[in-house]
Chains A and B, each alone.
Chain A
Amino acid sequence: MNAIARFDLNNAATYPSRRVEAWKYSDLARILRETPKLSATTDIKGSGPFAALGGEVLSLANGHGSIDYSAADQVTVQVRLVSDAESTGHTARVSIKTQAGAKLLLLESHEGRGDYVAHNRIDIDVAAGAEVTRIVLIDEPELAVSVTEAEVNLAAGAKYRQTVLTTGARLQRFETRLAHHAHGADARMDGLYLLKGARHTDLTSVVDHLEAHGTTGQLTKGVARETSRGVFQGKIVVQRGADGTDARMAHNALIDGERAEIDAKPELIIYADEVQCAHGNTVGTLDEAALFYMQARGITAEEARALLTEAFLNEVVDRIEQDDVREVVTQWLTARL
């Protein structure tokens, strides 16, 4: 039962509304009533959030051109998806392949200005025994609309690590569909959202275990302030015969504002019996006792909230394995708290 419709920016009839179950909490059709005009190209300014980490830089401006990259050895690649447009839309296409045994650090940034509509289609193939770490920093304006769809295919023994950090947009959807096509693949997909104003983000993932002995771990944490809305939808499917699967998913969210909203839908669809699967979901607010205690020690209420929020979110960042990457991501996050 895969209700995810193929979204095509050039065809308004494919824009999903909340009547489509997989888009229940992100009503794209309501925000986007007609097909936007195609964005003109734009200049790419600055050097992106990952500049300090080096590696080859591949950029797309308003979706013009495409990225087709194949990694052989141990490499770092920066992919910059830059949008700068007023009321126009564009689709960016990125294809990343790895050769067997390759080790790729993929640093992806979504940078924007204006009230554009961006659609990103990203394909990632992780070959047998290869390893891909994908770090995504999304920094979009509050009037932008964006839909990112990534398809990740894992071969035997592949290792995949993904961490997404976002501050949302007017309506933002970040979807990852990952398939364990062969035995013994190992995936970790983490997410973090920090929302304020009337921003909206939707972190959706579908993990499909088609073969035996796959491992999936997911941790998503988020904070929704003011009138923002955070959405987490995580689906783990274990197909018949995918024995020995170990899949775990957690989503923990903080509501920090009277009118903020969190919607979560963690799903387990299991057809094999020799499995260990679990998900956990919590929604709560900052601990009043801790806030009081910190204020009693002379920390202002605002600082106390920021400290507690940072401590809450850091768990996701701490799971990034590369020290230098973790440092860049921590700075990025701290600047936005």
Chain B
Amino acid sequence: MVAVKETVDTVAELERYKYGFTSDVEQEFAPKGLNTDIVRFISEKKGEPEWMLEWRLAAYERWLAMEEPTWAAVKYDPVDYQDLYYYAAPKTKEGPKSLDEVDPELLEIYAKLGIPLKEQEVLAGVQGAPKVAVDAVFDSVSVVTTFKEELAKVGVIFMPISEALREYPDLVRKYLGTVVPVSDNYFAALNSAVFSDGSFVYIPPGVRCPMELSTYFRINASQTGQFERTLIIADKGSYVSYLEGCTAPMRDENQLHAAVVEIVALDDAEVKYSTVQNWYPGDAEGKGGIYNFVTKRADCRGDRSKVSWTQVETGSAVTWKYPSCILKGEESSGEFYSIAITNGHQQADTGTKMIHLGKNSKSRIIAKAVSAGKSDSTYRGLVSVHPKATGVRNFTQCDSLLIGKECGSHTIPYIEAKNGSAQMEHEATTTRLSEDQLFYAQQRGLSEEEAVALLVNGFVRDVLQELPMEFAVEAQKLVAISLEGSVG
């Protein structure tokens, strides 16, 4: 029984939160608090063009006039926006030219996290092993991006957004803020004002990106907010698969992570965006943990364009995010596959929006939520079909699994059809783990915890299958880890 063996191994590997270490890296900070000087400081630090500073300042003005939203089904202590560092960076003399110049201490941290930053390590691997290019973001700055040259050969631009602003200002200016406008929401406005780094990806027409691209976010410094910005542009007929991962040290305080991800897909382009979110969820009493307030949106501008979001949400004290697709192009398609696992005192309010504007556009939503402990999980989603979008198809499935008496699981879908030819289906179920299945698995010699892990893995399998292979394995382990201590 290979499957059982795997499960036993997985469970054997269980650890509370193995990425919770802190690292003593010499860092520099901007003064605490937020004002126009800080915005100017960040912009200057990045050597940005004047228009970018204006853009940030305008965003800051908008943010000041906005109120923090309260509609999500999450409760958390208010964030004191003046008590945060908005910029923290490892101290370096000059930006490293190559991997050899990167602070070995940083490389060590990433090695500890299991992120290969050394190109040769990957190259020396098994013949034909898939390559993954990584952009590693440490607090407010990108420390290293791998495989840049190899990617440049096929015309793919993959670099920190701060660098792209210097090297390809016109390209960034053309697309930045066109998917998530500055004043879209409170956290997007804040991000627009103070974002310090993130990834920029441009795939030229007709190019299939030769390797997986990924960003790895690490919060290290305390009392620091992380605000990164990712912009992915897939030009006509191109393809890219992108993965995002994240971890943070275990701290008593709550740390804010407010990212913005914008994706533009032109005619016939396809983008696959996968997230394995493993921010520190707080301790067993619900103390500490990351507030993960993220705006992610894809604009399927081109005809027959396709964007697929896959997310595995296991971390964070509070998650509040809705990766969305605006399906403007004819026959464009959007997909959303999600696993949200909450345990302890975690709260997750997540889902998606599929806005059908183009004729014959399609969308598919598969959301699986597992709640254990004293946690709360909410699926909140919108599927809307606009009057001119004929021939729209949508399928939505939301399943929730409850483990224990003190958790909650909620499903709040909105369905708006303004066109007579739309065909939309939505189904949702909420159940507990089957006693029969648990009993059966235990009969076969599995412990209760192993049995739960096995059943949960089966429950979320539809979504795990959508992840790129290497990450599916990692995600599967995470599922087991997140549920540790949820039974008995």
Contact = CB atoms under 8 A, between A and B. Distances in A.
Interface residues on A, range: 35 or more
Contact of B432 (A240, A260, A267, A273): A273
B408 A280 contact: no
B430 A21 contact: no
B400 interface: yes
Contacts of B410: 267-270
Nearest to B372: A273
- How would you classify the secondary structure of chain B's contact residues: helix, strand, loop or mixed? strand
Contacts of A275: 402, 430-432
B413 A283 contact: no
Interface stretch (A30-38, A78-86, A206-214, A251-259): A251-259
A256 B406 CA distance: 45
B428 A284 contact: no
Interface string B384-427: 00010000000000001011111111111111111111111111
B407 A283 contact: no
B404 A278 contact: no
Contact of A261 (B402, B413, B416, B431): B416
Nearest to A277: B430
Contacts of A266: 411, 413, 426, 428
A5 to B, nearest CB: 16
B127 interface: no
Contacts of B73: 1
A64 interface: no
A281 B417 CA distance: 12
A204 B403 CA distance: 30
B422 A281 contact: no
B67 to A, nearest CB: 14
Nearest to A255: B420
A278 B429 CA distance: 4
A282 B428 contact: no
B71 interface: yes
A277 B411 CA distance: 11
Interface of A: 1, 21, 240, 253, 255-285
A273 B417 contact: no
Contacts, number: 114
A257 B387 CA distance: 11
Contacts of B407: 271, 273
A281 B413 contact: yes
28 contacts: A255-B421, A261-B417, A261-B418, A262-B416, A262-B417, A264-B413, A264-B415, A265-B412, A265-B414, A266-B428, A268-B400, A268-B428, A270-B409, A270-B410, A272-B402, A273-B405, A275-B432, A277-B429, A277-B431, A278-B428, A278-B430, A279-B411, A279-B426, A280-B427, A280-B428, A281-B425, A282-B425, A283-B415
A282 B424 CA distance: 5
Residue of A253, A267, A274, A276 with most partner-chain B CB within 10 A: A267
A177 B18 CA distance: 48
Interface in B64-111: 71, 73
B417 A272 contact: no
A268 B424 contact: no
A153 B142 CA distance: 59
Contacts of A271: 407-408
B373 to A, nearest CB: 12
A258 B415 contact: no
Given A255-B417, A267-B410, A273-B407, A284 B422 contact: yes
B418 to A, nearest CB: 5
A277 B406 CA distance: 17
Nearest to A25: B416
A199 to B, nearest CB: 16
Contacts of A256: 420
B425 A263 contact: no
A283 B417 contact: yes
Residue of A260, A271, A273, A275 with most partner-chain B CB within 10 A: A273
Contacts of A276: 430-431
Given A267-B410, A268-B411, A273-B402, A278 B417 contact: no
Given A255-B419, A268-B430, A283 B405 contact: no
B343 to A, nearest CB: 14
A36 B380 CA distance: 37
A276 B409 CA distance: 12
Given A255-B419, A275-B431, A283 B412 contact: no
Nearest to B382: A265
Contacts of A1: 73
Nearest to A280: B427
